[in-house]
């Protein structure tokens, strides 16, 4: 994520307090030493779920239709009812509609 100074990049673990991410632009996600560039928070969400699916497919399939945000499901077996759905795998969709950038 980019800091306030041009050319600087700050790295935060996912366990960081969420207020630290407010006003920050996502630039990349690190998986160990691998840096994967992203353009926005939707891409961060999608990349993390796709990686989780590779490593824990059965767990994500179990969570379908059981994980909701404030208003609607964000992990489902179908895209209906989602604002900005994307397919993670066969019969596994996530909704990135809660992200503004």
40: containing domain: 18-95
Residue 4 lies in a domain: no
Residue 13 lies in a domain: no
Residue 60 lies in a domain: yes
Calpha distance 64→51 (Å, rounded): 16
Q: What is the pLDDT of residue 99?
A: 62
* pLDDT average, residue stretch 85-99: 89
Calpha distance 65→86 (Å, rounded): 15
Q: What is the pLDDT of residue 35?
A: 92
Question: Which residues of the chain form beta strands (DSSP E)?
Answer: 28-31, 34-37, 67-68, 73-76, 85-89, 92-95
Question: How many domains, in total, are found in the chain?
Answer: 1
Calpha distance 80→68 (Å, rounded): 14
Q: What is the pLDDT of residue 101?
A: 46
Residue 65 lies in a domain: yes
What is the band of 10 on the pLDDT scale with cuts at 50, 70, 90? confident
Which tens digit of pLDDT belongs to each residue from 25-43?
A: 899 999 989 999 999 989 9
Which tens digit of pLDDT belongs to each residue from 46-67?
A: 999 999 999 999 999 999 999 8
Put the strands of the sheet holding 92-95 in their side by side order. Answer: 67-68, 73-76, 92-95, 85-89
Calpha distance 43→41 (Å, rounded): 5
Residue appearing with tokens 């992990």: 75
Whole-model pTM: value is 0.80
Calpha distance 10→24 (Å, rounded): 10
């Amino acid at each position: 994520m980019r800091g306030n100074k041009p050319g600087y990049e700050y790295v935060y673990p996912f366990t960081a307090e969420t207020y630290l991410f407010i006003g920050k632009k996502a630039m990349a996600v690190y998986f160990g030493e691998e840096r994967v560039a992203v353009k926005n928070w939707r891409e961060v969400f999608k990349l993390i779920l796709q990686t989780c699916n590779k490593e824990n497919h059965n767990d994500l399939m179990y969570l379908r239709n059981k994980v909701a945000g404030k208003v609607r499901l964000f992990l489902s077996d179908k895209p209906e009812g989602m604002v900005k759905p994307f397919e993670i795998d066969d019969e596994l969709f996530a909704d990135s509609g809660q992200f503004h950038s």
